[in-house]
Structure 1
Amino acid sequence: MRPSARPVYFFIGGMLMLFSRPTPAQVTPDDDLGQRPPKVAPLFEQPGVLTPRGTYVLEPAVQYAYSSSDRIAIAGYALIATLQMPRVDVREVRRNSTIASLTARRGITNRFEVELRVPYIYRSDAMVSRDVTGGIATNRVSDASGKAIGDAEFAARYQLNEGGLNKPYFVAGLRFKSRTGRDPFEVTTDCTTRCTGPGAAGTALQLDLPTGSGFYALEPNIAWFMPSRPATFFGTFSYMHNFKRSNLSRKILNGQSEFLGEITPPDSFGFNAGVGFALNEKTTVSLGYDHIAITRAKQNGRTLPDSLRTQLGTLMAGFSYRLDPQRTINVSVGAGLTRDAPDIGLTVRIPFAF
């Protein structure tokens, strides 16, 4: 059970979590500095400009992410003629994830807002496995998909200070992730008796993909914004804690289950930084970098041997255009720079304020 921000075990599109909440795109007037952070094209998931007091925002959004991986494993030895040759297994995996979500925000005061986000997820995985031992390749193709509501999230954010030109703004946030999605322990794997240990039979591949992580999570974060004409610099530091679960079992074929016990999912540390430019009173663009470090998972108090620390680095670019005072279109693109990050991601959002 190797942790990853890809939807392998504990995280969904997670990665899918590489795109930010929206903010209207416009040049911030001089007399507004000192009261609210500057408005820039959004890149990251963490907070941007807060919703004004008494204002509601509804934000429909569509996110798409694609990732691929190639793995070569030496599974054992095969006797060929009088030589012992390693049995080499090559796997190609292609993952596609699409998330349609609706986010609602309300400004309680000019410095405090609350948010609710409900996603609907469609995922599809395709894997080609081939045994190339002895120069003879035998292909095995498997496909899996899943679609359902994902994990709903609730967040609250508070602006800590009054910044200004060349003075940073700080916004503290707290995000709670629920377990409303179909979790990995609710889907069936291809194992017949058990997936690990003595008597294991099967590859532990999921026949139907989950749409939730399976664990409650809490993430405190703090964002900063530094207006410095003609650019605005911004960034975030965050820590996500996933709460452990006990008496868990994994579903296998023929209606049976394999007892797993207590699972402690990995936590993650994140930071990002970027710079935004206002091209005119309606258009802004942003560039940035996002990084997430994921710790190792544990089972029954012991670190899983195949659970590795994972680094996810993504280069981000964003564009924002204000259609009218109530509507803005935001587009962001991410390109993975590390091995475990999604290869490409695209997000389109159109928030409505009223």
Structure 2
Amino acid sequence: MRYLHLLRLGAAGASALLLSAAAHGQDATVPVPSQEALAARLADMKAQLAEQRRLLDMLRGTLQAQQRRIDVLQGGAPMSNDWLGEQRGLGLQEGPLQQAAPDSGAPVAAPAAASAPTVPPSTPGPVVVGRPPGRDSRPPEVAPIFEQPGVLTPRGKFVLEPSAQFGYSSSNRVALVGYTIIPALLIGLIDVREVKRNTFTAALTGRTGITNRFEVEARIPYVYRSDATVSRELFTGTAVERVFDTSGKRLGDVELAARYQLNDGGADKSYYVAGLRFKSRTGRDPFSVVTDCVRRCVGENATGTGLPLDLPTGSGFYSLQPSLTWLFPSDPAVFFGSISYLHSFKRHDVSRLLRDGLREPLGTVEPGKIFGVNFGIGLALNEKGSLSLGYDHSTIGRTRQNGTVVPGAVRTQLGTLLMGYSYRLARDRTLNISVGAGLTRDTPDVSLSVRLPMTF
């Protein structure tokens, strides 16, 4: 208040000087002073005005410093996002803002701006010079490393995403047929198999936003597979290794998916996205390819390698997979993860195709259920690039045939360590690259995927 009083005194003094000069100029009875006296008086008035201006500038700087200190001291008062959103876009006012922050107990004054235009006195209340920006309720974007995306497509937008994925795996299997005389000596046959598997999948995915919280997606894959099996066949007693090559290429299983954002989320608040994916069996299933067996692939009449002559490109079962994805932004990182459950519907009257057009009846086949969980962290490197690290784990149950567990079927654990990088090529195009390394024996050794989503 002391600074405001000095400011008013300075302004009043300057006004008095100007009025005095005007009065002397209009009084005709006063003798006209000489030119030297007028020049001296004018110089003196200019010096006084300069001193008053310096004093006003000093007082204005002091007031601004005091206002900054008050703002810092009031920073501990809780302010809701709604109140802050209302204050954005408010122009210069006639006086201090009369709207107080919630729970602060006192009004907040707007800082003075030297270059801001003066508001006419007749203008009541605040002058709105812009619209407060709406709060973005969409989750933050991260480099995708899992199958399901975390950020939903905005309403009215369409995303076309071509992608390519390559996977390689190798496994060894040793089968012992015989009996043991002593622990170090086996009498019988040994079957050693080494399988090298390469899988390449090219897919075209399209998704669109029905609302800002709901999107639908369709994915059409094309699969090429090749296997190389090095083995010494059972029941032959040969010591010569044999290489068995097979491959398959065809349309894969078409997928349909829908995702819905359950909440708004925000800074230090989690986002939750629920998803449901349906997988068809448009690809060539394992029961329609020819198996290298003359009669049956089990029992005493087994002949041949027992391997398929052509590789399937689909699972052969309809599947439904619900999932729940969460994202938690904590600047400068974003934590994310999901849980899912894949249910494959059983098939009845299934038979396997053998050589010479023979069929081996299998009855009712029900694949094992798959429970999956993954988690990761995303880091923004700059305004265009981001890096993600994560881990994906799936537990596959045992397959059942005619209501009983298939002999030799075991629960399988798949663990993959993933790293992904995303770079924004343009406003509507982004390049996503991810690589995965298998951590368990049954997981593919390495997988590499490239995606190029384009927004229209």
Q: TM-score, normalised by structure 1?
A: 0.87
Q: Does 1:130 align with 2:207?
A: no
CA distance in 2, matches of 1:338, 1:100: 25
Aligned to 2:197: 95
SS of 2:210's partner is strand
Letter in 2 for 1:297: T
Per-residue deviation, residues 294-326 of structure 1 (Å, max 9, x unmatched): 000000111111111000000000000001111
CA distance in 2, matches of 1:278, 1:67: 32
CA distance in 1, matches of 2:186, 2:288: 41
Match among 76, 79, 85 for residue 187 of structure 2: 85
Structure showing the higher helix proportion among its residues: 2
Tell me the number of residue pairs that the alignment of Structure 1 and Structure 2 aligns.
320
Match among 277, 283, 286 for residue 379 of structure 2: 277
Considering only aligned residues, what root-mean-square deviation do their CA atoms show, in Å?
2.0
Per-residue deviation, residues 115-162 of structure 1 (Å, max 9, x unmatched): 0000000000001013799x9831011000000000000000000001
Aligned to 1:13: none
Aligned to 1:58: 160
CA distance in 2, matches of 1:77, 1:131: 18
Match among 259, 262, 268 for residue 160 of structure 1: 262
Trace 1:59-78 onto structure 2 (pairs within 5 A): 59-76=161-178
Match among 25, 31, 47 for residue 149 of structure 2: 47
Per-residue deviation, residues 191-238 of structure 1 (Å, max 9, x unmatched): 001112353333320000000000000000000000001100000000
SS of 1:200's partner is coil
Change (3 A) 1:33 1:278: farther
Aligned to 1:26: none
Aligned to 2:348: 246
Q: Does 1:183 align with 2:281?
A: no
Trace 1:210-225 onto structure 2 (pairs within 5 A): 210-225=312-327
Q: TM-score, normalised by structure 2?
A: 0.68
CA distance in 2, matches of 1:43, 1:145: 28
Match among 110, 119, 137 for residue 212 of structure 2: 110
CA contact (8 A) 1:46 1:221 kept: no
Change (3 A) 1:84 1:225: closer
SS of 2:287's partner is helix
Shift of 1:86: 3.5
Unaligned 5+ runs, structure 1: 1-30
CA contact (8 A) 1:317 1:333 kept: yes
CA contact (8 A) 1:336 1:344 kept: yes
SS of 1:254's partner is helix
Query: Over alpha carbons, which structure has the higher Rg?
Result: 2
**Higher RCO by CA contacts (8 Å cutoff, separation 6 or greater):** 1
Letter in 1 for 2:290: T
CA contact (8 A) 2:233 2:305 kept: no
Shift of 1:45: 1.1
Trace 1:291-330 onto structure 2 (pairs within 5 A): 291-330=393-432
CA contact (8 A) 2:232 2:238 kept: no
Shift of 1:103: 0.2
CA contact (8 A) 1:47 1:173 kept: no
Change (3 A) 1:84 1:92: closer
Q: Does 1:169 align with 2:275?
A: no
CA contact (8 A) 1:33 1:163 kept: no
Shift of 1:75: 2.3
Shift of 1:183: 0.3
Shift of 1:32: 7.7
Letter in 2 for 1:188: V
Aligned to 2:137: 35
CA distance in 1, matches of 2:347, 2:258: 25
Change (3 A) 1:190 1:78: farther
Letter in 2 for 1:238: S
Letter in 2 for 1:91: R
Per-residue deviation, residues 84-124 of structure 1 (Å, max 9, x unmatched): 62422211110000000000000000000000000000000
CA contact (8 A) 1:34 1:163 kept: no
CA distance in 2, matches of 1:203, 1:217: 30
- Percent identical: 61
SS of 1:186's partner is coil
Letter in 2 for 1:159: Q
